[in-house]
Amino acid sequence: MRVEDGRLLLDGIPLTELARRYGTPLYVYDAATLRSRARAYRDAFAAEAPARVAYSAKACALLGVLRALRPVSVSAASLGELEAAVRAGIPASRCWLHGNAKTDEEIRGARALGVGRIVIDGEREHERIARAVRGAPQRVWLRVSPDVVAETHAHLRTSGDQKFGVLTVGRGRALVREISNTRGLRFVGVHAHVGSQIADLDTFRRVAAWLASFARQLRDEGVPLQEVCVGGGLAVAETATSDPDLTAYARAVAAPVHDALPDATVIVEPGRSMVARSAVALYSVQDRKVRASGRVFLAVDGGMGDNIRPALYGARYLAALAERGDGATEHVTIAGAFCEAGDVLIEDAELPRAESGDLVVVPGVGAYSVAMASQYNHRPRPAVVLVDHGRARLIRRRERTADLFRLEGAVSR
């Protein structure tokens, strides 16, 4: 994003122009940022070969976004995300499906698409996968839960006493033996993901070391595993622009694995840190209220229905005005339009004085916003645009009120 004549531009296009053309709330993804982030990840991990980078599609599975990231593999949290990857032109053989409660239908669907790996995350899941296998064996990983507690919001932590993965080394080893003896399955690797929005590289180093030691034990028992996936979770700085260094991150996760198993492929599956910075949200100010306390509320035309993260786990954002961005600023609370007191997008933003009709820009919203959007309050979900080489293209049209009722059929009076 850059400023020209007091206006904010993305890929050379004024954001006010995009809002005028497509309406608000509007999400705008920048293809160049997506491509350069995928390249940066690939380059960082190429230096640590054998290594592989997948994009965790749960952060945003829009086809237009997946297409821009196409050279990477995809980690899918559901059959829908896997299907999105395939529709975007990413071969299913380069993808994997994880999840702690996969249905038989999902397993069969993933098989039918030709999924590369299935991440086993259940006590008897291997038997259900085996039943779905006709023909070539299914390559599988086992998700384990390393004894490493990540410093992050409790809702973003996935280690310790929680629902994902196998919790003890002993049970993990026994399960790997069972999986290895199950016809139709080929056990090829281990997988873990201890949480999201983790800035401390030492956490990743410890996860990788834990997995490497577990994988080494399996190898010593004669299990020919080749792949060690350390999950995603790298943080994106919320109110600053400098993120953890990718080269240092790649080193932190690859070195412990390659020290123990030099020929193993180390795999990461970032979501947030791949796409968060590639999008901005545009909202129109509807109202301005000044409370007796002096607190200023700007009410905008979106909120928790298009970005639940602030309400869900206290995510923080910065904001700017799309034009008139200079002059004296004030502290404001940017409130959403949804009928919940907790629908506050930004508690404490610093903005030039804004009035109804002004356009608020929230950068850094590419991850877990559109992906988690809902129709709460029967508000249609926003449109999404992709800018590329100076041109804007609608990649998801704005929902219409009629879309809200599409699945309900006619109601007899």
Ligand X SMILES: Cc1ncc(COP(=O)(O)O)c(C=O)c1O
Q: Is 391 exposed, middle or buried (0-12, 13-18, 19+ CB in 10 A)?
A: exposed
Q: Shortest distance, CB of residue 383 to ligand X, whole angstroms?
A: 24
Q: Shortest distance, CB of residue 110 to ligand X, whole angstroms?
A: 15
Q: Using the rule CB under 6 A, which residue among 117, 157, 173, 193 binds ligand X?
A: 193
Pick left, alpha or beta for residue 195 (phi over 0 → left; psi -120 to 50 → alpha; otherwise beta): left
Q: In this complex, which beta carbon is closest to ligand X, that of residue 32 or of residue 372?
A: 372
Q: In this complex, which beta carbon is closest to ligand X, that of residue 86 or of residue 150?
A: 150
Q: In this complex, which beta carbon is closest to ligand X, that of residue 120 or of residue 298?
A: 120
Query: What is the C-alpha separation between 113 and 12, in angstroms, rounded?
Result: 39
Q: In this complex, which beta carbon is closest to ligand X, that of residue 177 or of residue 316?
A: 316
Q: Shortest distance, CB of residue 236 to ligand X, whole angstroms?
A: 9
Residue 2: how many other CB atoms lie within 10 Å:
9
Locate 118 and state its tokens: 């299935």
Query: What is the C-alpha separation between 84 and 245, in angstroms, rounded?
Result: 29
339 is a catalytic site residue: yes
Q: Are strands 279-290 and 359-363 parallel, antiparallel or unpaired?
A: antiparallel
Please list the residues that pair with 335 across neighbouring strands.
Answer: 299, 344
Q: Shortest distance, CB of residue 243 to ligand X, whole angstroms?
A: 12
Q: Using the rule CB under 6 A, which residue among 205, 258, 272, 396 binds ligand X?
A: 272
Contact between 102 and ligand X by CB under 6 A: the answer reads no
CB 60 within 8 A of CB 307: no
SS3 33: helix
Residues in contact with ligand X, shown as a per-residue x/- string from 59 to 98 under the rule CB under 6 A = x---------------x----------------------x
Just list the catalytic residues. Answer: 339
The site for ligand X (CB under 6 A) is made up of: 56, 58-59, 75, 98, 193, 196, 231-234, 269-273
